Structure 1
Amino acid sequence: MQIIHKATARAAGDNPYVFVMSDATRDRYGDIIEPAGWKLAAFKSNPVALFGHDSTLPIGAWKNVRVENGALLGELEFLNAGLSPRVDEIRAFVESRMLRAVSVGFRGLKAEPIANGGLRYTESELVECSVVSIPANPNALQVAKSLNLSRDAQRLIFGETADEITPAGRSAFGEPAVIPSSLRTKSMTTLSERIESAQTELTQLRGNLQTTIDNGGDIDTITGEIEQKDAALASLRRAEAALAGTTEQGGNQTVVTPPAPAQQRAAEPRRPFAVAARKVEPVDHIFRSMVVGLLAHARHQSHTDALKMAYGEDVSTKAVMDVLLRSATVPADTVTPAWAGALVETAVGDFFDLLLPTSIYPRLAEIGGRFGFGRAGKVSLPSRSATPTVAGSFVGEGAPIPVRQAGFVSTTITPKKMAVITTMTREITEHSTPQIEQILREAIQEDTSIALDVVLLDANAATTVRPAGIRNGASTAAGTAGGGMAALVADAKGMLTDLTTATNGNLRRPVWLMNPTQAISAGLIQDASGAFPFKVEIAAGNFMGYPALISSTVPAGVLVLVDAADFMSAVGDVPRFDVSDQTVLHMEDTAPAQIGAAGALPTGGSVRSMFQTDSLALRMIMDVSWAMRRAGTVVVRTAVTW
């Protein structure tokens, strides 16, 4: 459902931190939001306050959000002073009462048309609320300067800031004449129209640039056009800001001092190629924290300095990084923002979802259930046992009614340590930050997918170290001999029959697991007429009417049918990352051995010194485990012949 934004600039009283988030006033679109219809439960569970609807710039949290006297009110609680210079500057502007506007983002649940146009929202769900850059006083820019706010903060609040202005009675001799606004003809293009036109052209050019990059074409020409158009747009915005300071007082005219030459002004940062910034998702903060840890270790910097050099004042990444760094050694504190834990929880879930293209584990967990270990350190999942039954029966008149008791069993999932080490040469730190982030993302994605699925898809029993593979205890048989259509149909029919029998017909979410080799073979098998009956179904990600999860981590020649509704998994709250350039590693994927003494090298793989090869090792450790809630919900065929 679309999220709608509505801005309000109305004082709620003497307290500068109390805002009218919304009321029943008709807005410029003709819409009215009924205060009595606000649904606040979901918002109150994570009431993050943003600036300008920017998810990368949280400034605090909303407290005491309520509907009172026909208005939706909320009290803004800023982040603790000193955590972010940018937030501190915004706080100063709010305290000076020069910034009183907020904008709610909401989902309209119920609405009815208004006679003269517009909508009346009778039920609305609050999604987020941001302080926005609509100053409540026309002299707000001058107040910003008197508060010594940085140019970055002024640009954030007002967009492109105006250059210095100097009031004077009249222009000095030799200065260009100023054309009075009364002499402008209606046919002249207004400054705002020129800005809108330039923005439209920039959007089109950026779209063309992205298409050219995707197609591997020459980007130099389009990049040059974007830079020229971006410079022109910046000039127009400076002119707009300068005009905003021009007033008429009596017969005197306020003259705008021309901006200093370009070489006298400090260079303003600009995004490479003028490409629009990518939206930062919660999981990105985990990878950014990895990059910061890697750079801090390689450059011998503090994590705070490395963060500022790589991402600037990224409050969200700093909060997540603080949680990740403190989780192993420091208890709860009052410095880390309260919303950081919720952000990490969302990011961890999204981290496993990133493995979707290559891993079986997250796709099974998405269909079944994924839990967190929490403070209890374990997850207990009750389920109904096959016997005894509580089925009713017919009884005669006056005969006693049977009394039966249902049987229940509980499956307990305890944390198991999933760990993976990714190595890379130190030259990685010479790349740009986005490149480092992408390299780490791909490396962790590939290594974690293999580490999880190798254990998930084997037939080994659970130990104190690892969970059981889903093939452990499964109904297993060899595939039908002979190959071709007959063998495929016989295997599929037998597996579906076995699973139906084992679950007493209570099939909920059957899912096939297969190697790409089997998927290709199934799609290319022909029937007697020469047609390919499974080609379209396999291409759509299905097989025999049920979803098919295809991954190279499934052993070739093995076909698995699992009722994914019974696959339950649990993950720890926070992953742990460490970087080392001094360790010696046994470079072995499946069974690495401990290097016990000098000269005693383990067999298999190879041994590599991070110090000797000037390399870095990134280690990730996280609690992960799983279990099947009911027995008999996995059927396997090995050595299939098709």
Structure 2
Amino acid sequence: MRAIVSHPPAKPSALESLALASFKSIVTGRDIEEIAQRMGSKDDVLALHQRATAPVGTTTASGFASQLMQTAFGQYLATLQGSAAARIISLGMSVPMGRSDGFAAPTRNTAPATLPWVGESAPIPVRTFDFQGLTLTPKKMAAISVLSRELAKRAGGEAAVRQMLREDGEVALDAAYFSATSESASDHPGLLEGLTAINGYGGGDLQAFQEDISAILTVIGPRNSGSIVYVTGMATVERIALKFPDFRGTVLGSQAVADTTLIGVDAGNLVHSFGDFDIDTSTSATVHMSDTPAEIVADNGTVADPTRSVFQTDCVAIRIIGDLAFGQRKADTVAVVENITW
């Protein structure tokens, strides 16, 4: 059985549609309502454009867990089907974003009750839910894309812009999610933060593959949620399908993970929270065209290079900013094997 999860086309999110409508509005001079109408997403786009509040999930509504992903930023991340992180997020718990300086997320400090039967007048077993053990501190994710005015007017331009926004979002999300970065004033800790990597089993054969999987399960297998997934590089995903077609585990590929790395994640024991977002478009900004941007002119007079004036080059800059927080509801939810040989 092929264990690789396919990437079905995702329906455009409201945030993505708003970004496209804002882009086309600024380059064509047409009203955003007219553009949204043509795109077939008028109500969603206008609600977000006017900063309407998304409905809050309730325990009486169907699909309670999914409805907690109530903000447009969370919905946008869910459409990034080329992102392994987005696929994992959809399997975990989602809770409303709390205070910007940190908020408590639900965790367990004991195993679920194992004995449901209680005798007459006998005490009922008690299990404690801990709402203080995991503090989620939201961090800001942001990106700027610069696109030409001609692209917006060209046939197929909308599809090209949509695809580029998704690709940028997929790589950026995965790079942050599967990192070993420690928490700082600006950075969210990655899933691999603080982990000691398991060294891959030698030999490069089926036994090596099985030993690496077993090593991961030794860590994350006990009391797992039943939603274990494995993440590795894109080429290794295909290699697993070719060399080990009988493997029944769920394997996700990520452009942000090395082909010599295998990450095991108990996705059901992760918790995520999505906050507010901002979308801005500009035809007059000056931006530093770099993945490691700097101030255009630093305090010491250093000028960033290369820079672009979107006004002078007849381009449009689209900026998307959103808040995200995530963490583990129990210990030993993630394990990583480095230097795999198969």
Report the TM-score, using the length of structure 2 for normalisation: 0.77
Q: Does 1:515 align with 2:233?
A: yes
Structure 2 partner of 1:231: none
Deviation of the 1:351 alpha carbon: 2.3
Deviation per residue, 1:131-171 (Å, 9 max, x gap)? xxxxxxxxxxxxxxxxxxxxxxxxxxxxxxxxxxxxxxxxx
- How much has 1:469 moved relative to structure 2? 0.7
Q: CA deviation at 1:476?
A: 1.5
Match for residue 250 of structure 1? Answer: none
Kept in 1, the 8 Å contact 2:36–2:45? The answer is: no
**8 Å CA contact 1:475, 1:632 repeated in 2:** no
Summarize deviations over 1:363-400 as a string: whole Å, max 9, x none. 1111111233167885522322369x9999xxxxxxxx
User: What secondary structure is seen at the aligned counterpart in 2 of 1:383?
Assistant: strand
Alpha-carbon contact 1:287-1:440 (below 8 Å) kept: no
Residue 443 (structure 1) aligned with residue 168 (structure 2): no
* Pairwise CA distance, 1:607: 2.9
Q: 1:307 aligns with which of 33, 39, 44?
A: 33
Check the 8 A contact 2:232/2:257 in 1, yes or no: yes
Using the TM superposition, give the Cα deviation of residue 300 of structure 1 relative to its aligned residue in structure 2, in angstroms.
Answer: 4.6
SS in 1 for 2:150: helix
Task: Output the CA distance in 2 between the equivalents of 1:313 and 1:513.
Answer: 35
Give the letter for the 1:464 counterpart: A
Task: Indicate how the Cα distance of structure 1 residues 472 and 288 shifts in structure 2: closer, same or farther if over 3 A, else same.
Answer: closer
Q: Give unpaired runs (5+ residues) of structure 1.
A: 1-280, 328-335, 393-400, 526-533, 538-542
User: Within 2, Cα distance between the matches of 1:572 and 1:386?
Assistant: 29
2:136 to 382, 405, 413: 413
Is the Cα contact below 8 Å between 1:475 and 1:634 reproduced in 2? no
The separation in 1 between residues aligned to 2:114 and 2:34, in whole angstroms, is: 66
Tell me, in whole angstroms, the C-alpha distance in 1 between the residues paired with 2:21 and 2:275: 22
Distance in structure 2 (CA, Å) of the matches to 1:620 and 1:514 = 28
Query: Could you tell me how far 1:641 is from its partner in structure 2?
Result: 1.6
Distance in 1 (CA, whole Å) between partners of 2:212 and 2:35 is 58
Match of 2:61 in 1: none
Question: Does the CA contact (< 8 Å) of 2:18 and 2:49 recur in 1?
Answer: no
CA-to-aligned-CA distance 1:457-493 (integer Å, 9 cap, x gap)? 1111122323211111234222123322332222122
Question: C-alpha displacement at 1:443, in angstroms?
Answer: 1.4
- Identical-residue share of aligned pairs (%): 27
Deviations 1:187-239 (A, max 9, x none): xxxxxxxxxxxxxxxxxxxxxxxxxxxxxxxxxxxxxxxxxxxxxxxxxxxxx
The one-letter code of the counterpart of 1:621 is: I
Map 1:237-248; keep pairs closer than 5 Å: none
- Written as runs of structure 1 = structure 2, the 5 A alignment for 1:88-127 is none
Q: Counterpart of 2:62? A: none
SS in 1 for 2:90: helix
1:592 aligns with 2:310: no
The SS at the match of 1:341 is coil
The answer on whether the counterparts of 1:474 and 1:632 sit within 8 Å (CA) in structure 2 is no
8 Å CA contact 2:142–2:321 kept in 1: the answer is yes
CA distance in 2, matches of 1:406, 1:569: 21
Q: Which residue of 2 aligns with 1:341?
A: 54
Corresponding residue number in structure 2 for 1:176? none
Q: CA–CA distance in 2 between the matches of 1:430 and 1:390? A: 60
Partner of residue 78 from structure 2, selected from 342, 353, 356: 353
Alpha carbons of 1:320 and 1:306: their partners in 2 closer, same or farther (altered >3 Å)? same
Q: Which residue of 2 aligns with 1:294?
A: 23
Match of residue 581, structure 1, among 283, 287, 294? 283
| Closer/same/farther in 2, CA of residues 384 and 426 from structure 1, 3 Å limit | same
Paired letter, 1:473: G
Q: Report the equivalent of 1:620.
A: 320
Report the 3-state secondary structure (helix = DSSP H, G, I; strand = E; otherwise coil) of the residue aligned with 1:496: helix
Relative to 1, partners in 2 of residues 1:450 and 1:391: Cα closer, same or farther, differing over 3 Å? closer
For the pair shown, which has the larger CA radius of gyration, 1 or 2? 1
**Pairs aligned (count):** 309
Listed as ranges, the matches of 1:158-237 within 5 Å are none
After superposition, what is the alpha-carbon deviation per residue over 1:304-334, rounded to whole angstroms, capped at 9, x for unaligned? x3432663697x62x444443443xxxxxxx
SS at match of 1:367: coil
Contact conserved, 1:298 with 1:426, CA < 8 A, in 2? yes
Corresponding residue number in structure 1 for 2:223? 506
Does the CA-based 8 Å contact 2:284-2:311 persist in structure 1? yes
Aligned to 2:120: none
For the residues of structure 2 that align with 1:310 and 1:386, how far apart are their CA atoms? Answer: 50
Which deviates further from its counterpart, 361-370 or 376-385?
Answer: 376-385
What is the CA–CA distance in structure 2 between the aligned matches of 1:324 and 1:481, rounded to whole Å?
53
| 2:219 partner amino acid | D
Contact 1:585 1:607 in 2 (8 A): yes
SS at match of 1:592: coil
Given that 2:83 and 2:254 are in contact with CA atoms closer than 8 Å, whether structure 1 keeps it comes out as: yes
* Aligned counterparts of 1:437 and 1:493: Cα–Cα separation in 2: 46
Q: Deviations over 1:408-434 (max 9, x none)?
A: 4521223211111111111123225xx
Q: 1:366 to 1:556 in 2, by over 3 A?
A: same
For 1:200, the equivalent position in structure 2 comes to none
Matched, 1:369 2:93: yes
Whether contact under 8 Å (1:298, 1:429) holds in the other structure is yes
1:425 to 145, 148, 151: 148
Q: Is 1:484–2:177 an aligned residue pair?
A: no
| 1:595/1:390 CA distance change after superposition, 3 Å | same
Instruction: Kindly indicate whether the alpha-carbon contact (under 8 Å) linking 2:78 and 2:89 is maintained by their aligned counterparts in 1.
Output: no
1:483 match: secondary structure: coil
Q: Does 1:385 align with 2:103?
A: no
**1:354 aligned partner, one-letter code:** T
Unaligned runs of 5+ in 2: 1-10, 57-68, 116-122
Q: Secondary structure at the match of 2:218?
A: helix
Amino acid at match of 2:15: I
Show the 5 A alignment for 1:5-24. none
- Name which of structure 1's ranges 423-432 and 629-638 shifts more when overlaid on structure 2: 423-432
Q: Distance in 2 between matches of 1:406 and 1:345?
A: 27
Structure 1 position 558, deviation (Å)? 0.7
